Amino acid sequence: MAKISGWSLFDGVRMARTVGRNLADRTNYTTEELIAAAESASQEHPSEWVVFYVLADKCSEVGRYADSLRACKRCVELRPKDLRSVYALATAYNLLTRAEWSGSDKYESLLSEMGETVPPDRAATELDEAGLTIEEAAIQAIRWFERAGSLKPDRTSQAHLESNLNTLYTRFPHLA
């Protein structure tokens, strides 16, 4: 998934001071170690946006979509008008819609070609954990992508938003 740009030096410093403090080795760590560090930092710094943004991003990378969704919701609570927060929340909902492809070799191979390592079956499990249906996740993804579009994104970000929306409207034409 493409990400919205805008990571600042300030965000990087805040991440190093919060999440980085909880890493045994700041230069060599696994995604799981970074998630554990971010989870720990979230307890110490419950109002630090960057902690939840990192947590959301890394949880989605390993297929912990329900955890990513919770972290993204916190990002939006902390920075409701931040394009990155809103886009991340839309993306978290969108990833849950992959549950629709569960058990389909066609989509599993397509995701593999895209470099995705999390199988759609994982999205189905995570969708259940989030207490949503595929359609509810799609409705929320559309809602939040549209909201992100109202936050004056740059051209590249706008193109990502439109691409995601077009894909969702193609997959769920009754929601258009």
Q: Say which CATH number the domain at 40 has.
A: 1.25.40.10
Tell me if 99 sits within 8 A of 124, measured CB to CB.
yes
Please indicate whether residue 28 or residue 149 has the higher confidence score (pLDDT). 149
Query: 29 is in which domain, residue-wise?
Result: 9-175
What's the pTM value of the predicted model, to 2 decimals?
Answer: 0.87
How many domains is the chain built from? Answer: 1
CB neighbours of residue 162 within 10 Å: 13
Residue 3 counted as domain residue: no
Residue 2 counted as domain residue: no
Residue 1 counted as domain residue: no
The Cα 176–Cα 159 span in angstroms is 18
- Categorize the per-residue pLDDT at 153 as very low, low, confident or very high, splitting at 50, 70 and 90: very high
